[in-house]
Amino acid sequence: MIPPTLETARLRLRAVRLDDFDPLYAGLCDPAVNRYLGGTPAREEFWGKLLRIPGQWALDGFGVFVVADRATDVAIGQTGLARFRRDMTPGFGDEPEHSWIIGQGAGRGLATEAATAALAWMERTHAPERTVCLAHPDNAASLRVAAKLGYRAFDRTLYKGAPAMLLERTGAAR
């Protein structure tokens, strides 16, 4: 499945393209952006992460969108819901996990705008009873986005050796 293109006032959520690699790597692999994500990935590792995106869509019918500036169509981040199958206890099982990341300096509520559009699409098309997300407890910006979307903490764990909050959004949060 090829992801649909969604548009908001300032953003375009779309399928990943080859020409997205350099702007995404530059924006998303900044150490300041990755301080809560386990460090900056090497180019090869980041390439592998981009290659997973079409596979998510092909196997599940949903996945991660590239977030692009609507005026220029230049990629500035990623958002969406996917089954990441993280190796952690407790885990999320097969429930769709919501994620968002916007490059350094984007700000201005763009993560919330993008994540809201992705969640609305997922709810219209797949109607999940529950969605989940993961955030480092010190990542105040991500926790603010999660709260605006209706996510509430339900547990804590370690993920790749770092503390992590597990959050959920159920039908009652809608």
**Yes or no: is domain 6-127 CATH 3.40.630.30?**
yes
CA 115 to chain centre: 7
pLDDT computed for residue 108 by the predictor: 84
d(CA 131, CA 165): 14
Q: Kindly list the domain boundaries of the chain, sorted by start residue.
A: 6-127
Q: Which two tokens stand for residue 168?
A: 């959920």
Backbone phi, psi, residue 67, to 5° = -100, 120
What's the CA dihedral at 155, 159, 161, 164 to 10 degrees? -40
pLDDT computed for residue 42 by the predictor: 86
The pLDDT tens digits along the chain (174 residues) read: 899 999 999 999 999 999 999 999 988 877 777 777 776 778 899 999 999 999 999 999 999 999 999 999 999 999 999 999 999 999 898 999 999 999 866 668 999 999 999 999 999 999 999 999 999 999 999 999 999 999 999 999 999 889 999 999 997 555
Backbone phi, psi, residue 128, to 5° = -70, 145
Q: What is the pTM of this model?
A: 0.93
